Structure 1
Amino acid sequence: MSSNTNNANVGAKIHNLVHASPSSCLRISPKSNKLLATGTTDCRVHVWVLGKTVPVMTLNGLASPVASLALDYPEQFLIAGSAAGPIRLWDLGIEKVVRSLQGHKSATRAVEFHPFGDFFASAGADSLVKVWDLRKKGCIQTYHSNAPSSPASSCSPSVVRITPDGRWIASGWDDGSVKIWDMTAGKLLKTFTDSSHPVTCLTFSPYEFIMTVAYQDGRIWFYNLETFLPLEATQPLSSIPKCIEFHESGKEVLIACQDSIQVWGWDPLICYDSVAMEWPNLADVKMLEDNKLVGASLDGNMVGVWGLKLDRLKPYRPSLTQLPPLRQIPKEPPSRTNSSASLHNGAPPIDEFSRSDARDGLSRAEDRRQHSRAEDRHQPSRLDDRDTLPPKAHHGSTSRTKTPNISRENTEFDGAQPKAFNSSHQHQHQDSEQYSPPSNMQSLEKKRTSFIGASGGNMPLNLDITQFARHGAKSRAPSNPPPPNTHQSSSSDPADNSDHTDENLIDSLTFRNTSMTLILTARLRALQDIRSVWDESNVKPALEMMLECRDAGVRVDILRLMNMRAAKVFTLDVAIMVLPLLSELLFEVYEDYIIEACATLKLLCKSFAPLILSQLGTSYTSPGIDISREDRQKKCLLCYNRMMDVKLTLQELARSPGRVGASVRDALVELSVFGE
């Protein structure tokens, strides 16, 4: 099982964070992975930006040592449970306690925010799991251990997690049991009792109905949450597993043990790699982009911050895998509007494990694009290959939302939408596969002979709903998972389903309709979130949220709005952000998406071609723009290069029939002002 990989090449300590008193707990923020919250025995909570060794804030308000911590997804609020039981909620924007909650009679051992905000769960040493509504300022649900005769000290929950779709809550107990409750119905769904050893950690796959649980005896169990049956279990590992994180590909789990980092797959069960690590008392790990991992450990009054390069481990080594996924759209550093935006400002990179500087990343991207265009000029056109390639399959897309559709009059989670329990951390790999800008080599595989037009609601589009719903079924948790036979039949060849009963057919259709409803509802929520930050005088925050959403339908809707308000919202900075998105939309199979992308490109050409050409040495007169000459030249060059990237894709679509071909050729006419 051990790997020959040198652990010095895989991971190393980046730096230490020092407290005045012993550290008691910590958590890394679940979304950006840039914030770290630590609790100490002197009743204080410190918030750090990873990469800095001085806390950005210190929070007071607890009367006993900090026992548990959690940050919400937008990074606006922090909750802390104390060793005496009381819970405090801080607003990080104003650095003040905004809620003081009494509920547990003894230590609050674990806290966890609901994926969509306004709710959180807590687990106490009093053998209770509670769900809290921050708007109603109180507990709305309480779950008991169902073992009243057991002493609280010997049977209490130590871990609590909420499924990424926001519907189920799972808790790991000291007696080895794992209990799953349905928060909508407020009832116990299943109790797993496959081990008698305490649970150390558990997590859910963001792509499938898979739960992974680690126990004190060193064993890892994998459970299928569609059938509520165990899938596989490892032999006891050499040390206690402390944290589990699903890889962004969704195919493996990263198990951080007391003395090692291991990569496991469960279908089939296999350990790909294991490398020794010297992190004492590891407390949390999180995936970063670019196949990297950040971890944090407790060591007395110090917190160690660790970085790992996963591409040095099997199965992620470049020599053993296919080409890595394309990087996401380069964009300017975000100008977030929430109250915690200032926390990230000025944070230096985390040594070699941090994300690349945005400006350097853009420069490297431009170098690659120019090199790619130079190669393309020496290659024969392959537009004639279009007829030999299959059309691109299109599936339902996802969005990341913050707030469940829960009325203020009731406490049920009926409208909660999947955030990551949905083939999206999905969290994100499938999103990047669907919407990452294709390279020149990939573009040859995506050419199409036909496009799906809008029906206007008067006729069916003849979409393959089986394939569409199959993706939705995998990516979004339905309110009631289908029985096993329904799941199997939906993933098999339709030609083999002739023996289906009417009941199975109805179950299958119900399941697909539920998935479609969730997809469309999630899209509506994303639009509502973007609308909440929309400001025509500064659309960059709304654009950043739109790009983060990664739902092509939502992006096209926002582009339509921007095209209607072109005179007010389009600036050179906005053009730089939007152009990579247009390249992505040109690889969709829907006519409306491509036509809207072409319309946006034509508006950008009309608005900025004179300015760009003036900076490229032509006779155009530059309109007055209030930016320095040097910055203006850099932005114009960047905008020009991105327009040329879009032009390459348009040229491949120029022979397309119908509305798509007409729109593409019109856009090429506008781009002709830049010459060949």
Structure 2
Amino acid sequence: MAATKRAYKLQEFVAHSSNVNCLKIGRRTSRVLVTGGEDHKVNLWSIGKPNAILSLSGHTSAVESVSFDSSEVLVAAGAASGTIKLWDLEEAKVVRTLTGHRSNCVSVDFHPFGEFLASGSSDTNLKIWDIRRKSCIHTYKGHTRGVNAIRFTPDGRWVVSGGEDNVVKLWDLTAGKLLHDFKCHEGQIQCIDFHPHEFLLATGSADRTVKFWDLETFELVGSAGPEATGVRSMTFNPDGRNLLCGLHETLKVFSWEPIRCHDAVDVGWSRLSDLNIHEEKLLGCSYNQSCVGVWVVDLSRIEPYAVASAARSNGHLESKFTSSGNLSLPAGNNLKTSIGRLSISQNAELAVKEAKPVASTGTVPGTPQRIGMSTGPKITAANSAAAPGAATLKRSSSKTHDNFRAHKPSETCSVEVLKGGKTRSLVASWERREQSSSYESPTPSSSSETTTATNVSYSLRGHFPSVEKETISANDEGAITDLMEQHKQFLDSAQTRLTKLQVVHRLWQRNDFRGVINAVEKMSDHAVSADVVSIWTEKSDNVTLDIFTCLLPVLTSLLESKMDRHLGISLEMLLKLVRTFGPVIYSTLSAGPSVGVDLQAEQRRERCNLCFIELEKAKHSLSTLTGRGGSIAKAAEELNLALQDVQEVL
């Protein structure tokens, strides 16, 4: 019986000295966990380890919501007092304190690009915070009771909130207004998730139903349930085919087209708080009083994934947890992503292919070994039906270029995400009809607040055990581990860069050049900035003074890069534009103010003043670059001479 278990408890530990109120799994690695408790503490854990990595203090009331940022470098925690604190995990100190809520802060979520934070409170308000400025930039009012759940859309332009008033609200961050109310639930909203590829939203409620919404038409696609208990947490499978829903002591697997329950798995979790899929395993974390339980569901043993698993070759090795309780890398999954070059023709492509490591077959002490296929019951349509009168999800043909096609790994086999124009890419879907909002470049922050670290300093790399390969000698294991870790980091970096370039390409196709610059500045990624500037270098004749004013901060920030390619691209573009606009800028500023009211002249003078400030910043960087030697020093000297020539002529 033990060998055929589809779900088991990985570990249980005492997380706080009093009751646990909230927890969250780190999405990037699925190997860290943050908890908040009545003891006013925020504790950080490595999944599979019994002791906390960090214990963070600073709040003066119970912690009621926690969240990681996308890089797992920052943690945000909302307290019963309404105060929100942000910790830098590498330095183990408070870097931001945000105040403004009048009551309990019960939900927090980071913007996908990490510079903004959303928070929901029992005071019925949803607030958006600028982390760099330490201020609230917008307060959305509309809920009549507390805001339980918050999620940003993948592109970060919309935010969805679910409340105790049974309503789901969709807000446009760019326009600062409510887009739509979804009012079909009869109980408070407890969880929200977005489909990874379709323009689809799933919501789970205490009314024991899961509802699917088309975000293009704002129509109800269908409803699953009612179930025996309320829906506490949910997550879409990465391939988008199924939604995994955590109920009281049960996991259910639903497909959304058509609405159907494929399987139900008995799991011992009670107060489930978070779910996350990692390498063909579903991690579920629950809490009860002062204890936290970590549960694992083997997706290869549940429907509909078990069918695909049975069709695999007998030599396929099952991905398991290593003996230290950490997830091992999967066997047999290929990740091949075609990245279209940011240009009008989209000719060049970058291919990234993931290697196939062999997973360790060790098991966690105290947990049963899992051999063979599960004999658990197969549930095909229990307690699940399409909502009467619900609209069928409209599936429009893809508007993206054929070169923009992503192949992503499914849970059991390689599946092409875009097929026959039926499914649009994630970024293409979220970029439609929207205009990019402007953001300021990041500024360094400091804080005098400190916190105590009970254990060793936190490091993103180093505390995670690595994958082992049984057939390799012990002397080679370290080298293989390092290679695999570097390879995974490279894949993560390439995938992030692909997503950012797709966002930029969408704006470029619409000739929204200011939007392109604003998006690049918001991303704060030198590699992406260099790619965009390199294309603009070939089109420098099309750059206006207005575009030059927006582009200059990106060019000066590239001068801080340590890579010669980034520096060379920035210096080349600056030289071209200084020769074009330098005389205009300096002559405008040296001229006296115009007589009377001339709005165009005032705008030109303001733009020239902004350009002058940025060019002065660039001049300070040139002295450092001239000492590097080689082509970079030569280009820096040439730019410095060009700036001097313009000033001398005037």
Q: TM-score range by the shorter chain?
A: 0.5 to 0.7
Q: Please, which runs of 5 or more residues in structure 2 have no aligned partner?
A: 332-354, 360-399, 436-505, 531-562, 569-650
Tell me if structure 1 keeps the 8 A contact 2:237–2:277. Answer: yes
Q: SS of the counterpart of 2:60?
A: coil
Alpha carbons 1:469, 1:516 under 8 Å: kept: no
In structure 1, the partner of 2:304 is: 315
Flag the 1:288–1:68 CA change in 2: closer, same or farther, 3 A. Answer: same
* Structure 1 residue 235, shift from structure 2 partner: 2.4
Structure 2 CA distance for aligned equivalents of residues 477 and 14 of structure 1: 37
Match of 2:431 in 1: 478
Find out whether 1:225 has 2:211 as its counterpart: no
- 1:16 corresponds in structure 2 to 12
Deviations 1:84-107 (A, max 9, x none): 111101111111111111110000
- Over 3 Å counting, the alpha-carbon distance change for 1:124 and 1:224 in structure 2 is same
DSSP-derived class of the 1:272 partner: strand
Tell me the equivalent position of 1:45: 42
Aligned counterparts, 1:94-493, within 5 A: 94-145=91-142, 147=144, 155-289=145-279, 291-318=280-307, 323=312, 351=325, 354-355=328-329, 364=358, 395-397=402-404, 471-472=424-425, 475-480=428-433
Q: CA deviation at 1:307?
A: 1.0
Distance across 2 between alignment mates of 1:527 and 1:173: 31
Provide the secondary structure at the position in 1 that maps to 2:525: helix
Deviation at 1:355, TM superposition (A): 3.6
* Residues in 1 aligned to 2:525 and 2:507: alpha-carbon distance in whole angstroms: 27
CA distance in 1, matches of 2:416, 2:210: 32
Residue identity opposite 2:171 in structure 1: W
**Deviation of 1:478 (Å):** 2.3
| Cα shift at 1:479 | 4.3
Taking the aligned partners of 2:306 and 2:74, their CA distance within structure 1 comes to: 38
Which residue of 81, 84, 97 maps to 1:84?
A: 81
* Counterpart contact for 2:193–2:201, Cα < 8 Å: yes
Give distance in 2, aligned partners of 1:431 and 1:275. Answer: 22
Does the CA contact (< 8 Å) of 1:129 and 1:142 recur in 2?
yes
TM-aligned CA deviation for residue 41 of structure 1: 0.6
Cα deviation, residue 164, structure 1: 1.1
What per-residue deviation string (whole Å, max 9, x for no partner) do you get for residues 64-87 of structure 1?
000000100111101000011111
Give the Cα separation in 1 of the matches to 2:523 and 2:40. Answer: 41
2:547 match = none
For residues 430 and 516 of structure 1, the distance between their equivalents in structure 2, rounded to whole angstroms, comes to: 40
Provide closer, same or farther for how the CA distance between residues 199 and 60 of structure 1 changes in structure 2, counting only shifts above 3 A.
same
Alpha carbons of structure 1 residues 192 and 350: separation in structure 2 relative to 1, 3 Å: farther
Q: CA deviation at 1:362?
A: 7.0
CA spacing shift, 1:396–1:468, aligned 2, 3 Å: farther
CA shift for structure 1 position 52: 1.0
Residue type of the partner of 1:184? T
The answer to whether the 8 A contact 1:7-1:276 is kept is no
Aligned residues: CA RMSD: 4.4
Aligned residue type for 1:227:
T
Question: Which deviates further from its counterpart, 17-26 or 183-192?
Answer: 17-26
Query: Counterparts of 1:111 and 1:143 in 2: how far apart (Å)?
Result: 14
Task: Give the residue type in structure 2 aligned to 1:351.
Answer: G
Q: Look up the match of 1:28.
A: 25
SS in 2 for 1:203: strand
What is the CA deviation profile of residues 321-378 of structure 1, one whole-angstrom value per residue up to 9, with x for unaligned ones?
7659x99xxxxxxxxxxxxxxxxxxx97653854479xxx97749xxxxxxxxxxxxx
> What SS does the aligned partner of 1:127 have?
coil
C-alpha contact 2:9 2:296 (8 A) present in aligned 1: yes
Structure 1 position 528, deviation (Å): 6.6
Greater helix fraction, Structure 1 or Structure 2: 1
Cα deviation for residue 30 of structure 1 reads: 1.9
Question: Is 2:59–2:85's contact at 8 Å kept on the other side of the alignment?
Answer: yes
1:177/1:523 CA distance change after superposition, 3 Å: closer
In structure 2, what is the Cα distance between the partners aligned to 1:161 and 1:363? 34
State the TM-score, normalizing by the size of structure 2.
0.54
Say if 1:320 and 1:89 are closer, same or farther in 2 by CA, change over 3 A: closer
- 1:531 positional shift: 3.8
Whole-angstrom CA distance in 1 between matches of 2:74 and 2:284: 21
Q: Any idea what the Cα deviations from partners look like across 1:252-311, whole Å, max 9, x if unmatched? A: 10011112111100101100001111112011010101x111111101111001111001
Superimposed CA distance per residue, residues 552-604 of structure 1 (whole angstroms, 9 cap, x where no aligned partner): xxxxxxx9979x9xxxxxxxxxxxxxxxxxxxxxxxxxxxxxxxxxxxxxxxx
Q: Deviations over 1:412-465 (max 9, x none)?
A: xxxxxxxxxxx89x6988997579xxxxxxxxxxxxxxxxxxxxxxxxxxxxxx
Q: CA deviation at 1:397?
A: 4.4
- Identical amino acids, percent of aligned pairs: 31
Kindly provide the CA deviation profile for residues 399-420 of structure 1, in whole angstroms up to 9, marking residues without a partner as x. xxxxxxxxxxxxxxxxxxxxxx
Structure 1 residue 21, shift from structure 2 partner: 2.0
**Mapped partners of 1:199, 1:210: distance in 2:** 17
Decide whether the 8 Å contact of 1:23 with 1:41 is kept in 2.
Answer: yes
Would you say the 8 A contact 1:160–1:171 is kept in 2?
yes
Other-structure match for 2:380: none
Specify whether residues 313 and 67 from structure 1 end up closer, same or farther in structure 2 by C-alpha distance, changes over 3 A only: same
- Return the offset for 1:9: 1.7
Q: 1:16 to 1:469 in 2, by over 3 A?
A: closer
Report the AA paired with residue 215 of structure 1: S
Question: Where do 1:559-638 residues align within 5 Å?
Answer: none
Aligned to 1:56: 53
Aligned partners of 2:36 and 2:64 also within 8 Å: yes
Deviation at 1:112, TM superposition (A): 0.3
Aligned residue identity for 1:175 = D
What amino acid does structure 2 have at the position aligned with 1:10?
R
Asked if structure 2 preserves the Cα contact closer than 8 Å seen for 1:159 and 1:201, the reply is yes
Q: Encode CA deviations 1:204-243: one digit per residue, 9 max, x unaligned.
A: 1111111001111211100000110000011211122111
* Structure-2 change in CA distance of 1:481 and 1:118 (3 Å): closer
Q: What is the CA-CA distance between 1:248 and the residue it aligns to?
A: 1.4
For 2:10, the aligned partner's letter is: I
In structure 2, the CA distance between the partners of 1:297 and 1:16, relative to structure 1 (3 Å rule), is: same
Question: What secondary structure, in the 3-state scheme, does the structure 1 residue paired with 2:5 have?
Answer: helix
Residue 183 of structure 1: how far off its partner (Å): 0.4
Partners of 2:330 and 2:358 within 8 A in 1: no
**Could you tell me how far apart the structure 2 residues matched to 1:172 and 1:135 are?**
26
Q: Secondary structure at the match of 1:56?
A: strand
- Gap change, CA 1:252 and 1:84, over 3 Å in 2: same
> CA 1:124–1:301 in 2, change beyond 3 Å: closer, same or farther?
same
Partners in 2 of 1:240 and 1:55 — Cα distance? 31
Shift of residue 514 of structure 1? 4.9
SS in structure 1 opposite 2:192?
strand
